[in-house]
Every structure is written in structure tokens, then in C-alpha cells.
Amino acid sequence: MKKFPDGFLWGASTSSMQVEGGIENNDWAEAARLGKTPPMGLACDHYNRFEEDLDIVQSLHHNAFRFSIEWARIEPKEGVFDEKELAHYRDVVRACRVRGLEPFVCIWHFSLPLWFVQRGSFGKKDSPDIFARYAKKVAETLGDEVKFYLTINEPLVWVGEHGKILGGTPGFSPNPFLGLHYLHQLIRAHKSAYAVIKSLNPHAHVGVAKHNFSFVGVGFLGNIVAGVSQYLWNRYFLNALIGYQDFIGIQFYQRLFFWQSKTEEQAAPKSDIGWQLHPEGIYDVLKEASRYTLPIYITESGVADAKDQFRREFIVESLRAVHRAIDDGVDVRGYLHWSLLDNYEFQHGFSMKFGLVHVDHEQGQKRTVRSSAQAYADIVKDNSRLRT
């Protein structure tokens, strides 16, 4: 039996736009109206069913829950905040607390208010100040009931992947020079938000959710490309935040190979989304992140698996690798699986099933706990032990 440290946090993650439903005033809703992405509609109706979903979380013996604030809900017009919607998120935090769940609050998870996009998104010089104003309102509302804040979810993914998908939407562009500008604006935005949250709640722990890869080089040239990629993707942003993070949120899904043979690539098991399954690669990512000598929380890691045939093994092997990293001195303090629910996966719509809980979007959003979720619950319940 492998015992995890006392106080280790176990849970699952969600994102407001991907699960809440009923959001029509952000950039992704607009992209859907323009036919660029699938419509989200009710999503999982988590906005109305969050207590039911948190009851499921509690039944699975989790002690933490990550969710995000929908900026377009609470600031529907520039500088105008909706107190009713702010109260909703305060209710979510309190619902976590009464169930013994430590809330991890992500302030921005990809989707942006239309007014912010139309004024130039993060391309505008004053956008970090606008973001900090929003972060301040969130922190003022939630007060000391929230200990953990993630300011930004996967900054390089937003700048890169989502920028290409929404290339025609105001505020997004596949232009690499604009992308670099956006990235530096996000660095400024995080630092500004960090400062304002800490000024309101000095005891808050503030970080980012950083999506990192395990880069593997094959051959001389492959090793060079892997090393450069590792620096540019995994470290550049985190290096810029030194002194402005209290912990690092690590998100891991894939190993990327430069250059894997066609035979090896074809033989590797893959998730429904086509990503190779190498859960043990999280060890490399955690060891690399330990250079910053900060506590690490895994804020996302998961697999698209509609038939639930890989998820249990993915979780177990991921946790073996996490435990190995802890044994080797990495200060890992929590694991939050992606995701709690089968949700709206952006350009993939509802076709990719990452959830511990299956949601039947055609049958009244019916929830069904998957067997892999029960296997994860057994690990959590068994005094945080993982069988060898």
C-alpha cells in the first residue's frame, strides 16, 4: 500500500462555461452563433444542479472541488457587476464548505465576456487592469471562505489553440507575434490579479493552472526540439511569474514525442480524442515543476473515454507516478481529476467524454457515476492509499 501525505487533497474539476449552461454573452456562445463551434445550450445544467453534483462529489469521498467563475455572468457590461450572480458563486463556495470540500476557484477558464472581446480582449494595453478589477470583485465577494485561487487556466492553450479556433472572433488571432503580445499581457494580468487578491486576503493561496507536456526526444534532432519545446511551453510563463505564485497548478494529459516512429505512434493506445495514453509522464512534469520550490496541486489530468475502458488504469497509473514524485521529494499536495462531468469540450462539443460522471444530454441531463469514479473513490476512501 502506498500512502499519500496527510492532508492530501482529492477531487475533480469543472469549468463554468463547459458545465453551467445558459450562457449567451461570451465569446464561445458568439462563435457558436456564427457556426464556428458547436452550441453549448444547457451544457450539464450545473448552474441549477450544482448542489446535486456536489452531493455526488461528497459521495465519492472527495475533499476538494475545482470550479470556475463565469466572467460574462458577473460582469455582463463593462464595469457593471451583477450581485445576484455573485451571490450564486458565493452559494457554490458555501455548498462546498458544508460538504467538507476545499474549493479551488478559477477566476478565468477560457471564455470571455463579449464586451471584453469587442474592446480588444487582452490585446489592449489596459486589459490587465480590467482583469484585476474583475478578480478584485470576485475576491471581495468570496472573502476568506476561499483559500485557493487560480487566476488563469492554461494561458498558452488560450493563446495558441483557442486563438486559432476562433481566428475570426475579435480578440483572437493565429498570428504568432500577436500571440506573444497576448502572452505577456496574461503575465501582467496574473501579476495584477495576484496583488489585488493578496491585498484583500493575505492568507489566500494564488497560482495559475499551467498545462505542461512531457516532451520526449527521439534521436539527436528530436532531443534538441524536445528541449526547446520544454523551455518555451513548460517554463517560459512560469519563469515570468516567479515571486507571484504561492503554488503551481499543474495540468497534464500527454507525452509529446519528437520524432516517434510511425509504427510506435500507431501502436500506442489512444484516448477518444486521439491523444496517446502515457499517464506515467506526469512524473516528468512534476519533477520539472519542482524547480520552482512551490507546493504543487494537480488541477487537471484525465482522459476522453466514452466506454470507460481506460480511465481507471489512467487514474491508477497517474497516481503511482505522483506518489513516485512525492517519494523523490516533489511537494505535491493534491490531485483534481478532469473532469467531474461529461461536459462541453469546446470545438468537440459534447462528443468527448472526460467525466467521472456520465451526463446524458439527450435524457434530461441524467447523471450516472462511472465505475472508474468508484475505483477512484476507493483509493481516496482507503485512507488515501494506493494499492501496489
pLDDT tens, residue by residue, 26-61: 999 998 998 888 999 999 999 999 999 999 999 999
Choosing from 300, 313, 317, 362, which is the catalytic residue? 300
Confirm whether 52 is a catalytic residue: no
Report which secondary-structure segment, H or E, holds 107. strand 102-108
pLDDT, tens digit, 9 for 90 and up, residues 329-360: 999 999 999 999 999 999 899 999 999 999 99
pLDDT, tens digit, 9 for 90 and up, residues 181-207: 889 999 999 999 999 999 999 999 999
Decide if pLDDT at 362 tops 50: yes
Confidence of residue 243 (pLDDT cuts 50, 70, 90): very high
The vertex-32 CA angle with 28 and 38, nearest 5°, equals 105
Report the pLDDT value the prediction gives residue 170, as an integer from 0 to 100: 39
Decide if pLDDT at 70 tops 50: yes
Confirm whether 265 is a catalytic residue: no
Do 259 and 222 meet the contact criterion of CB atoms below 8 Å apart?
Answer: yes
Decide if pLDDT at 382 tops 90: no
Choosing from 20, 30, 75, 154, which is the catalytic residue? 154
Provide the percentage of residues in the chain whose pLDDT is more than 70. Answer: 94
The alpha carbon of 102 is separated from its chain's Cα centroid by a whole number of angstroms, namely 16
**pTM as predicted:** 0.96
Strand 2-3 versus strand 385-386 pairing type: antiparallel
Mean pLDDT of 2-12: 94
Cell of 244: 507571484
Which residues pair with residue 298 across a beta bridge? 250, 335
Mean pLDDT of 278-295: 98
Report the pLDDT value the prediction gives residue 260, as an integer from 0 to 100: 92
Mean pLDDT of 91-111: 98
